[in-house]
Structure 1
Amino acid sequence: MTQINVLLKKEWRENFRNYKIFWIPIVFILFGIIEPVTNYFLPQILDSVGNLPEGAVIELPPPAPEEILVAVMGQYQLIGMLVLVLAYMGSVAGERKNGTATLLYVRPLSYRAYFLSKWILASTVGILSVWSGLLAAYYYTFLLFERVDFTKFLKFGATYSLWILLIVSLVLLMSAALPNAGLAAAGSLLAIFIFQLIDGLFGTYWTVSPMKIPVYAAQWLLDGPKPEDFWWTIGIGIILLIAMILAGIWSSKANASKTKI
Structure 2
Amino acid sequence: MKGFSAFLGKEVKEQLRNYKFLILGIVFAIVGLLSPLSSKFLPVLLESLVDDNITILLEDPTYIDSWIQFFSNTNQISIIVLLLLFSPILSKEYEKGSLVHMVTKGLSRQSIVLAKGTLLFFCWTVAYWMSGLITWGYTHYYFSDSTAEGLFLPLFSLYSFGLLLLAVLLLGAVLFNSAFVPLLTVGGFVIVSFLADIVPVIHEWNPLQLATRNTEILVLQEGDRLLAQAMGVSYFICIGLVILSIVIFRRKNIA
Q: Tell me, yes or no, if the aligned pair for 1:175 and 1:184 is still in contact at 8 Å.
A: yes
Residue 11 of structure 2 corresponds to 11
Q: Tell me, yes or no, if the aligned pair for 1:28 and 1:80 is still in contact at 8 Å.
A: yes
Q: 1:78 aligns with which of 66, 76, 79?
A: 76
How many angstroms apart in 2 are the aligned matches of 1:233 and 1:63?
Answer: 31
Q: Tell me, yes or no, if the aligned pair for 2:83 and 2:166 is still in contact at 8 Å.
A: yes
Q: 2:124 aligns with which of 118, 123, 126?
A: 126
Residue 22 of structure 2 corresponds to 22
One-letter code of the match for 2:5?
Answer: N
One-letter code of the match for 1:248?
Answer: S
Deviations, residues 136-160 of structure 1 (Å, cap 9, x unaligned): 1111222122354324222222222
How many angstroms apart in 1 are the aligned matches of 2:167 and 2:254?
Answer: 21
SS at match of 2:106: coil
How many angstroms apart in 1 are the aligned matches of 2:98 and 2:224?
Answer: 47
Change (3 A) 1:104 1:205: closer
Count of matched residue pairs: 255
Deviations, residues 161-199 of structure 1 (Å, cap 9, x unaligned): 211111111111101111211211222222223323432
Is 1:242 the counterpart of 2:239? The answer is yes
How many angstroms apart in 2 are the aligned matches of 1:34 and 1:252?
Answer: 40
Q: Tell me, yes or no, if the aligned pair for 2:28 and 2:131 is still in contact at 8 Å.
A: yes
Q: 2:137 aligns with which of 112, 136, 139?
A: 139
Is 1:53 the counterpart of 2:67? The answer is no
Please give the root-mean-square deviation of Cα atoms over the aligned residues, in Å. 2.2
How many angstroms apart in 2 are the aligned matches of 1:92 and 1:61?
Answer: 49
Residue 91 of structure 2 corresponds to 93
How many angstroms apart in 2 are the aligned matches of 1:147 and 1:99?
Answer: 57
CA displacement at 1:226 relative to structure 2: 4.4
5 Å-filtered alignment, 1:94-243, equals 94-199=92-197, 201-202=198-199, 206-243=203-240
TM-score for the superposition, normalised by structure 2: 0.89
Is 1:41 the counterpart of 2:41? The answer is yes
How many angstroms apart in 1 are the aligned matches of 2:92 and 2:249?
Answer: 12
Change (3 A) 1:203 1:17: farther
SS at match of 2:208: helix
CA displacement at 1:35 relative to structure 2: 2.2
Q: Tell me, yes or no, if the aligned pair for 1:216 and 1:225 is still in contact at 8 Å.
A: no
Change (3 A) 1:205 1:231: closer
One-letter code of the match for 1:78?
Answer: Q
How many angstroms apart in 2 are the aligned matches of 1:230 and 1:47?
Answer: 39
Change (3 A) 1:120 1:224: same
Bigger mean CA deviation after superposition, 2-11 or 210-219:
210-219
Deviations, residues 12-63 of structure 1 (Å, cap 9, x unaligned): 111211122221122112112112212222233223333x036x66552123
CA displacement at 1:236 relative to structure 2: 1.2
SS at match of 1:152: coil
Bigger mean CA deviation after superposition, 71-80 or 94-103:
94-103
Identity of aligned residues (%): 20
TM-score for the superposition, normalised by structure 1: 0.87
Unaligned runs of 5+ in 2: none
How many angstroms apart in 2 are the aligned matches of 1:156 and 1:180?
Answer: 34
Q: Tell me, yes or no, if the aligned pair for 2:150 and 2:222 is still in contact at 8 Å.
A: no
Deviations, residues 51-90 of structure 1 (Å, cap 9, x unaligned): x036x66552123312321321111112122112111111
5 Å-filtered alignment, 1:244-259, equals 244-255=241-252, 257-259=253-255
